[in-house]
Amino acid sequence: MKLTKAIALVASLVIAPIVSAATATDVSNESALKQKLTETLGVNVAQVQPSPVDSLYQVFTDRGVLYVTQDGSKLFHGNLYDLDQGMKNLTELALAAPRLEMLKPFEQDMLVYKAKDEKHVVTIFTDVDCGFCRKLHNQMQGYNDLGITIRYLAYPRAGIPSANADEMQAVWCAKDPLKAMTEAKTGGNVKSASCDIDIAKQFQLGQAFGVNGTPAIVLENGVMVPGYQPPADLLRTIESNL
């Protein structure tokens, strides 16, 4: 399995932040494991760490977290849960800190709907044509009234390139992007425009995060919650993850 051009670009965007966010550990055969995984799977490996399970290493890659035996002979890709802590998703927690680092370079390009009395900030990968994205956007005042600031990044579900992506580019490049987003999500036509904002990079960041549908909500601690949640439910989700 070789990296596609798109995945290679994602790797170039996110591999350095993952390295800086991951905690350094002494894994004696780290170099050998990195080489084997890269040659076998075509992934870029940022770091290898001991996992919460004895005899398994936790491997940070441009395709998320992998788990590999210490001798490098066995591997699995999936979520690791803690049965003694209410099925806590340990894989999701491992990705949380790197996600926050990966978001930082994109903050200046986010469309921000700021709460007047801000208590929480969430980042949402959104699509202008997604029904639940539109439902969420229509309740923006409800989120803001609860002290939740919403920050948008683009995730055109039709991919790159596409008419869907072009429409989102027009929103981000509009004279008033916040107004243009509302127009787009209510079925209006946003005048085509171009600027330096790169929608493709936002989309590729979402892929690296594991987004497979919209809306995808990244909480303040880096945990990602898939799907629409009404204002009160989102507040409960945020508070339960503090």
Which of 127, 134, 151, 173 is an active site residue?
127
Residue 65, beta-bridge partner list: 60
Q: Please name the amino acid found at residue 117.
A: D
Which of 63, 151, 157, 173 is an active site residue?
157
Which of 62, 63, 109, 133 is an active site residue?
133
Which of 109, 130, 134, 151 is an active site residue?
130
Cα dist. 61→38, 69, 92, 137, 142 in Å? 10, 16, 14, 33, 37
195 assigned to active site: no
CA 190 – CA 171 distance, rounded (Å): 7
Enumerate residues 6+ apart whose C-beta is below 8 A from 3: 11, 42, 43, 44
CA 237 – CA 242 distance, rounded (Å): 9
Cα dist. 124→107, 111, 155, 205 in Å? 12, 10, 9, 12
How would you classify the pairing of strands 64-69 and 56-61? antiparallel
CA 172 – CA 184 distance, rounded (Å): 11
Enumerate residues 6+ apart whose C-beta is below 8 A from 111: 151, 152, 171, 172, 177, 178, 181
By the 10 Å C-beta count (0-12 exposed, 13-18 middle, 19+ buried), 229 is classed as buried
133 assigned to active site: yes
CA 193 – CA 195 distance, rounded (Å): 7
Give me the active site residues, please: 127, 130, 133, 157
